[in-house]
Each structure stands twice: as structure tokens, then as C-alpha cells.
Amino acid sequence: MNLEAIRADKTGAVLHITLNRPESRNAMSLKMVAELRQVLQAAQASAGKPDAVRVLVLRGAGGHFCAGADLKDMAGARMRAMQNSDGAHDPIAEVNAEFGQLCVAFAHTPLAVVAVLEGTVMGGGFGLACVADVAIASDTANFRLPETALGVIPAQIAPFLVERLGYSQAKRLAVTGGRLDARAALGLGLVHAVSNTEGLQAELDKVLADILACAPGALGATKALMARARLSAPQDLVLDAAAIFSRAAQGPEGLEGMTAFMQKRKPNWVTQ
């Protein structure tokens, strides 16, 4: 796979995806968006294969996670909008929507997603942090929502901010151009662990070991059910949840997991 704006390195069942534009603090260009979606699709397509990807780790090169949208792409879209006389399409909205589709794709993937956050975590980078299932921050991480201070809005990340932080805190941060250090982000539940730079890899290794101890199919089904549970009353999910549980219990993972428990051994999806 020919990648320019990101790197993708596979170690066992873990795909490490690095935003690789350190000269711009990994600003999110359209090329980066396209490559991230390309890599995600390939990882998902590996399901069921012996070398399947089970976990995605997102991080940035050069000591920063992501400084938000690439302003060059936005300037180009603005120029196209000025030249667009027929009004048939809106280039600025199209560019914005591309990033939104990326967030949705990572939010809905059945694979586990872990974000390792260092340095600048701004705008769209802040949104990606909210999309991740598990977010680990270095004590160097600085979070900011600069959109309203720039005269625009955090359009595509707003739903994920509300989902992660709740309405009150998401709104507070959005209307104040919110700034958070790593400890404040931990207190709000934006991230799940904070480590110094030296301990960051050990913290990541611990999280990966815990995820890889879970059955991949059960993990994906659980993520999908929890996404529905956010928007449904518990009583409305009873029968569907029971059916999902039954399929899992009678499927190969359920049978292997319960057999391994009875035999006091690790199930076959645990490789270490």
C-alpha cells in the first residue's frame, strides 16, 4: 500500500497507524483522510484471516498527535467556492464532510481503536481522540478546540464531543475555545490514562494485552450493541440483546471461551 501522509506498521494483530506530517504537527490533509480510510478498510477486510488485524493504534509523528485540519485544503476549497457560479455543489462543505466520514468510519469499526496522544491535540485531532475506544495521553498532551475562536464551528466532531464528554462539558469547551492539559482531560473522561513519556509504551502494552485477551467477534458485537444502547431505552433492547448473546454463546468464540475457562487455559485467540 503506497502511503505518503501516514505510516502503517503491523505487529501481530495490532496495526500501528502514525499520522506522518510532523512538519505541520500532523495537520489533517485530504490525502491523510483518504489514506486513513484506505488503511481502515483493508484492516477490516482482514477479519477471519490468520493474520487479521484486531486493534488499531493511532498516534502522531514528531511528538504531536494532530493539529486539526490542514488550512491549505480549506483555502483551496474556499477558492473553488468563489469560482463556483452554478451553486451545484459546495466545495467547503465537501471537504468538511470528508473528515466527518472518517470519524464515522473509525467510530463504527468493529476493531478496537486506541489513540496515543502527545503534544498538540487540536480540532479534528481532538475529535479523533473522542472517537477512540481507549485514549492514552502523555503528560505533554495539550488539547484545544480553536474553531469558535477562528470564526468557524467544530462541525464534524461535535457529536463525538457530546458522546464522550456529555452535553454540558462539550458545550463549555466549544464556547470557550477549550484548552485542557492531560490531567484535566483525564478528569473529564476525555482520556482514560495519563503517563509520562517514558512510561507511555508500557501503558499502551498493558491496554493492548487486555484488548487481545478479548474475542474479536465478541468485541465487535459489543461495540455495536453499546452504540445502539446510547440511543435506546433498556427495555427496547432486551430481545435483541438476548438474541445477540445467544448467537455469541453458540458460536465458535463462545464455545471456545467457555471450554477454555472450564479447562483453565487461555482461549485460542490469546497468542501470548
Question: Across residues 239-262, what is the average pLDDT?
Answer: 96
Residues 225 and 207 in one domain: no
Instruction: Give a yes or no: residue 174 inside a domain.
Output: yes
Segment 60-112, tens digit of pLDDT: 999 999 999 888 887 777 777 777 766 667 888 888 999 999 999 999 999 99
Q: What is the per-residue pLDDT across 6-57, written as a single tens digit (0 to 9) for each?
A: 999 999 999 999 999 999 999 999 999 999 999 999 999 999 898 999 999 9
Quick one: 92 and 137 in the same domain? yes
pLDDT(241) > 70: yes
What was the pLDDT predicted at 110? 98
Predicted local confidence at residue 85, as pLDDT = 63
Q: Which stretches of the chain are DSSP H helices? A: 30-45, 71-83, 91-108, 124-131, 158-165, 167-175, 182-188, 200-212, 216-229, 234-250, 252-262
Please tell me the total number of residues recorded for the chain in this structure. Answer: 272
272 in any annotated domain? no
Average pLDDT, integer, range 130-135: 98
The answer to whether residues 147 and 224 belong to one domain is: no
Residue 86: predicted pLDDT: 65
Say whether both 221 and 92 belong to one domain: no
Measured at the alpha carbon of residue 239, what is the angle toward residues 236 and 242, in degrees to the nearest 5? Answer: 130
Residues 187 and 252 in one domain: no
* Structural domains of the chain, count: 2
Report if residue 268 sits inside a domain. Answer: no
pTM of this prediction? 0.94
Check: CB of residue 113 under 8 Å from CB of residue 132.
yes
Say if residues 215 and 223 touch (Cβ distance below 8 Å). Answer: no
**Statement: residue 264 has pLDDT above 80:** yes
- 166 and 245, same structural domain? no
What is the predicted pLDDT for the residue at 272?
A: 64
Distance CA 39, CA 8 (A): 8
Average pLDDT over residues 200-214: 97
Per-residue CA distances from 112 to 57, 197, 238 (Å): 8, 23, 25
Q: Does 238 lie in the same domain as 176?
A: no
Query: Is 155 in the same domain as 138?
Result: yes
Nearest to 243 by CA among 228, 225, 231: 225
**CATH number of the domain where residue 144 is located:** 3.90.226.10
Question: Is 271 contained in some domain?
Answer: no
Does residue 269 fall inside a structural domain?
Answer: no
At 158-175, the pLDDT tens digits run 999 999 999 999 999 999
Q: What angle do CA 130, 244, 264 make, to 5 degrees?
A: 90
Element (H, E) at 49: none
Query: Are 137 and 57 found together in one domain?
Result: yes
In a domain, 267, yes or no: no
Percentage of the chain surpassing pLDDT 70?
A: 98
Parent domain of 249: 215-262
Determine, yes or no, domain membership for 81: yes
Can you tell me which residue has the cell 502511503?
3
Predicted pLDDT of residue 78: 75
Choice among 87-96, 107-116, 196-205, 238-247 with the minimum mean pLDDT: 87-96
